[in-house]
Structures are given as C-alpha cells and as structure tokens.
Amino acid sequence: FGLYLPPEGIDIQFRSWGATSPDGQMLALVLTEKADPDVSDDAPYPAHIYLFDMERRTLRTLAKNGIEPIWSPDGERLAYVSTETFGLWIADVNNGETREVYAVDRANEHSIAPSGVTWSPDSRYLAIVDQVINQSTALVLIDTEQDEPPRALIKETPYLLGRPQWSPVADLIAFMWSAGEGGRGSHLWIIQPNGGEQKQLTNNVSGRGGLPLWASNGEWVAFSGQIQYEETSNNSDLWLISPSKHMFKRLTNSQTNSSAPGSAVSALMPLWTPDDVQLVFVRVPLEGELTEIWVISLADGSERKLLETVNIFDASLMVGR
C-alpha cells in the first residue's frame, strides 16, 4: 500500500503498531506515508490510523494524526491518542466520525500515559491514566457519551500508576501502582469504578513488562513480575492471581534456570490465547542472544518455543483467534 510503520528513534513513544478487532477480522494499524516522515514543531506527527480487512485485503483511513488504537469490546469504535491535541479521541468504525472525549491540560504538561487506556465491558466507559511525567499520575473515568463529566478514580498521586485493564465481565479495573511498601516496586491493584475502594493484590512481587491481562471469564489476571526476596533479583516470571478466589500462582521460575546455558533471564508480556488455556509470552535471553516467543500450557505447565526475533516492544505482540 506504499505506507510504513513509524520509524524508531523519534520523540513520540509508539508502544503499539496496531490492534486486532474483537472478532479477529480487522487490524487497526498506525502508519506513515513516508518511511522517514518530515517532523515539525508546528505540526502534529504525521502518523494515521488505518483499518486493514484481513479477509478482503483492503485498507482504508480511519483517523488522521492518531496513535495507540484500542478497540471497544463491541468492535464498533476505536479509542486513540491524537498527535495534534494529545487528548483522547474515539472513532466510529462504520462511518469514520471522530471526536475528542478527553482533553489533557497541555499547559501544565499533562498527557495520556502510554498503555494507559482501557474500555469497560459495555463499550461505554474508558479508564485512562493522566500523567505529568516524573511528577504525578491519576486514574480517570470517562463517559464516552459525555452524559457524565470525567471523574478521578484515583486522584493525582506521586506514585507511579499505569497499565489499567478493565475486567471483561465485571466493573473491576486491574492496574499497576507503586503505592504501598513505601513506594517500592509496582504492585498489582484493583478498583471498582463505581467508587469502591482500591485494593492491593500483591506484595513483594513487582510488575514488569507487559499489561496485567484478565482471562476472558474474568477469573484470573496474568502478569509478569519480579519477586523481591530471592537472591537473583533482576529476573521476572509469569504469575496468575484470582481476586475472587484469593489464589496466587507462579508459572515460571527464571531464577532456577538462570545458570543453564542459553536460559532466559526474564519472562515478560503474557497474552492469553482465546480459549484461556495457554499464555504466549516473551523470554528475554542472556546478553547477545535473540529474544524468544514461547507458549505455556496452564493445564500441565509445559512450555514450547515458537520463534526467535531481534526484539519485542511493549505492545507489539498479538495473539489472534
């Protein structure tokens, strides 16, 4: 199509190159018209969101000057961050209409945190992280119909808060927050968006690469975390936690295997398969080796390597139907 993925080494952080629609038929892609776009302080970064129909092999423009596309659960709208206003916008997939639903306070250096947007199961509300880099973060609830004004679920806090993920079946949001334990680590929390109190779910296990992702039935949250009291403290492993069942499981043990030749240092970025019985994840190997993509069975714990690659960014891995 004569279009390009945005290049590396630019001021705007591209955490994702696209997103798969809930039915698995469409890709929302962030593309530029030039391999090395012209950048000006007086104009928005020229990246746009396109919709690619994987069956028909057709491509159409959905939103100009947009990045970080996130599908609504019903597949009818996309939320995205504008490179022009830096606020949060939504686009109607069918008619292409776009509108801003949350304007950031740019005068006071506010922005929407990367990987900081999540939809409610009914596709009406959005929870976002409004940040002032190196100063504060806040978790904000947005009514996309705009019948209600934005409401802070967690007001501006000096502790780092991010990566919110709404349960697919309940009014419950999981997120990472460094509050607690004197600000050490980034722990897993949950909050009820109707005004319920927030609750810390993990202690001594700090969240690392990737999102804390719910299984489709809302029973389990998978995340990558670094345990604090083990001797080899720079390794991360995969964990499962059930807020309702009060269960906590460790799926991998990088410390045990870290002395073996070719072993992985960390297991990061878990993604559920659609049937909720496997997790696809990234192994970061010893220095000088390729990054690996693996799959682990939750039924018997067996692991299998899928492929090797040079690098995987925070949100550049997808698992389709």
Cβ neighbours of residue 125 closer than 8 Å, sequence gap 6 or more? 119, 141, 142, 143, 144, 193
Q: Hey, how many other C-beta atoms are within 10 angstroms of the C-beta on 20?
A: 16
Helix, strand, coil shares, percent, the chain, to 5: 5, 45, 50
What is the pLDDT tens value at each position of the chain, 321 positions in all?
899 988 876 666 667 788 999 999 999 999 999 998 888 888 899 999 999 999 999 999 999 999 999 999 999 999 999 999 999 999 999 999 999 999 999 999 999 998 899 999 999 999 999 999 999 999 999 999 999 999 999 999 999 999 999 999 989 999 999 987 666 778 999 999 987 789 999 988 888 878 899 999 999 999 999 887 765 557 889 999 999 888 999 999 875 544 454 455 789 999 999 999 999 999 887 666 788 899 999 999 999 999 988 777 656 677 776
What is the C-alpha separation between 204 and 56, in angstroms, rounded? 49
